[in-house]
Chain A
Amino acid sequence: MKRSAALWIFSFGIGLYCLLPFLWFVLTSFKNETELTAIPPTLIPSFHLSFYQSALEKHGLLKYIANSAIVAGAATLITIVIGSLAAYAMARMQLAWTKFYMLALLAISMFPQIAIAGPVWTILNRIDWLNTYQGLVSAYIALTLPLATWILTTFFREVPPEIEEAALIDGCSRLQALRRVVLPLAMPGMLTAALLVFIYDWNEFFFALIIMTSPNVQTLPVGIALFPGEYTMPWGDIAAASTMATLPLIALTLLFQRGIVRGLSAGAVKG
């Protein structure tokens, strides 16, 4: 009894730590102007939607959401396809240089963004891809390939090679074996990798900031970071926009919780 009481108290404390700051922001988004500027602040709002209306209509939040969905969606899809091909080679053809490439990917994922940002900007500028979806998508593919390849390799290795060998003997090519045998069996792992990559792309700010300078193509993080305020910060609108940018992500995370925890620790424990 004593043990479970202590665990509940600790759990409650951790829950409060994780949820309270964000809850405060969500509550703020449901206030009205008077409640927002009350000093000391109103703790519980009377649930208005005026800040949501203003964020959507005045600040064109839907446009940012659409840009983010396009960029993150396309980047995730291409990354998973390219990453699966690479991971298959890593998992099945263990040549000296594929092992070296695996380590190189790990090293690349540790690069500080600023170390590559200037030349990436110059390349995209030269081919006129600044302020385009394909420009940011290309950068994101390169940035998330290390993560995706590592996770996918871990999951592909769990597929028994015997099943695949049988398919090869039956006359499948390597590519067919990958598509018809390995991919279906590694589906949960692919979903996890896709989710982690998507969350990374959806949240990424640094490259979105330098590549997307025109408001028409900017993604949500850029929109929220550069929220325009003439004299005072429009905190209510920012809170509403932030809540809308975050809730889908939290929903996805809670839905696929087990997979995410496994994906995050997959590379960690074995690598």
Chain B
Amino acid sequence: MRGSHRLALFFLFPSLIFVGVFTLYPIFESFRLSFYRTILTLPWLGQKMVGWENYADLWTDPVAVQSLKTTIIFVAVTIPLELLLGLGMALVMNEVFRGRGLLRAVVLVPWAIPTVVSSQMWRFIFNDRYGLFNVVLFGADTARYTAPLAEPGPALMAIMAAEVWKTTPFAGLIILAGLQTIPDELYESASIDGAGAWQKFRHVTLPLIRPALLLALLFRSIDALRVFDLVFVMTQGGPADATNVLQFYGYKKTFAEGMIGYGSAVAVGVFFISLALSLTYLRLLRESRLEGATR
């Protein structure tokens, strides 16, 4: 069944309006604004075209560079952990046993919790006086209680722990969907050929869930790149900008300081990093699918 162009346009029209006004136009507008100097608190300056100046400033702005590094560390540490833990969860959830349904339900709990709530929850867990973190580590020995969120290194680690906790189930479910597409016969014939559990995992499971793994990698990386809620609630980017990730920096420049032009340059930067990453993954994904098709 094929439809005419007019009919398709009729069905797509409302969708096009919303997407056009609230996502497509804004992205182009951000591009445009990134070449201007506009400061909300100094409206008399108007909009002045400054060319690449905002980008040049960005390059020499130590906080921006630091923020880029922090974001890269955040993504590079959380994603492998999420995929590894998610793979473990998926392997358990894929087995047939009593209570599997319950397990699949329980895993959805961290996913369903609003990020703001899980941020407050982890902020409380890492509290220097009443937090579970200190109780677990030091018991009643209150003299040794620490305040992880008040020190640069530990604060970043705390935020990464909170991120991994909340998003691992999502990675696990995507990988589980991949595991479920593997036909049992493959494992049976591998058994007949005398393959052990590890060999089956290495030579049957892993190659066949490669697309699912890449997909989880894609979705999770894109999402981790735009981490915001955790930072806003747990540390406000501090201490000493140690957790000031890109999206939070852009938010602060644009909405707290009113530096529209400069903030837009940050936004465009985040956009291109995210775009480059997704294009790379999509290419890997297509290659692995083609491989799967010709095998």
Q: Could you tell me which A residues sit within 8 Å of B by CB distance? A: 4, 7-8, 10-11, 14-15, 17-19, 21-22, 24-25, 28, 36-41, 43, 81-83, 85-86, 88-89, 92-95, 97-98, 101, 105, 107-108, 110-123, 138-139, 141-143, 145-146, 149, 161, 164-165, 174, 199, 202-203, 205-206, 209-210, 220-222, 224-225, 227, 235, 238-239, 242, 245-246, 249-250, 252-254, 257, 260-261, 264-265, 268-269, 271
Contacts and interface: CB of A to CB of B under 8 A. Distances in A.
Residue of A122, A165, A242, A245 with most chain B CB atoms under a 10 A cut-off: A242
B15 A225 contact: no
A89 B3 contact: yes
B52 interface: no
B106 A18 contact: yes
30 contacts: A14-B92, A18-B110, A19-B109, A38-B130, A85-B15, A95-B2, A98-B12, A111-B271, A113-B226, A114-B263, A114-B266, A115-B268, A116-B23, A118-B26, A118-B29, A118-B30, A118-B263, A205-B116, A205-B228, A206-B251, A221-B115, A221-B116, A225-B120, A225-B233, A239-B120, A246-B113, A261-B176, A265-B174, A268-B177, A269-B178
Contact of A165 (B1, B21, B92): B1
B19 A245 contact: no
A264 B167 CA distance: 13
A234 to B, nearest CB: 11
Residue of B23, B169, B178 with most chain A CB atoms under a 10 A cut-off: B23
A112 B169 CA distance: 22
Contacts of B22: 116, 120, 123, 138-139, 141-143
A48 to B, nearest CB: 16
Nearest to B112: A253
A112 B248 CA distance: 11
Contacts of B176: 261, 265
B181 interface: yes
Given A93-B2, A113-B247, A225-B229, A250 B103 contact: no
A118 B267 contact: yes
Give the bracket for the number of chain B residues in contact with chain A.
35 or more
Closest 5 CB pairs of A and B: A93-B3, A265-B177, A142-B22, A119-B26, A116-B26
Interface stretch (B41-49, B135-143, B152-160): B135-143
A265 B169 CA distance: 12
A116 B28 CA distance: 9
B284 interface: no
A93 B3 CA distance: 5
B55 interface: no
Given A138-B22, A141-B18, A210-B255, A261 B173 contact: yes
Interface stretch (B56-64, B72-80, B121-129, B185-193): B121-129
Residue of A36, A114, A260 with most chain B CB atoms under a 10 A cut-off: A114
A116 B109 contact: no
A84 B5 CA distance: 18
A118 B1 contact: no
Contacts of A246: 112-114, 117
Contacts of B39: none
Interface of B: 1-5, 7-8, 11-12, 14-16, 18-19, 21-27, 29-30, 33, 88-89, 92, 95, 97, 99-100, 103-122, 124-125, 127, 129-132, 134-135, 139-140, 142, 145, 165, 169-170, 173-174, 176-178, 181, 212, 215, 219, 222, 225-226, 228-229, 232-233, 246-247, 250-251, 254-255, 260, 263-264, 266-268, 270-271, 274-275, 278
A141 B16 CA distance: 11
B122 to A, nearest CB: 7
A81 B8 CA distance: 16
A24 B124 CA distance: 10
Contacts, number: 297
Contacts of B132: 21, 24, 41
A15 B3 contact: no
Contacts of A22: 109-110, 113, 118, 121
A238 to B, nearest CB: 5
- The dominant DSSP class at the A interface is helix
A92 B15 contact: no
Contact of B92 (A10, A41, A206, A269): A10
Given A92-B3, A105-B19, A268-B212, A25 B121 contact: yes
Contact of A113 (B173, B177, B178, B228): B228
A25 B119 CA distance: 11
Contacts of B263: 114, 118
Nearest to A223: B116
B1 A92 contact: yes
Given A83-B15, A165-B1, A118 B173 contact: no
Contact of A85 (B5, B11, B212, B255): B11
A176 to B, nearest CB: 13
B129 A203 contact: no
B6 to A, nearest CB: 10
A227 B275 CA distance: 35
A181 to B, nearest CB: 13
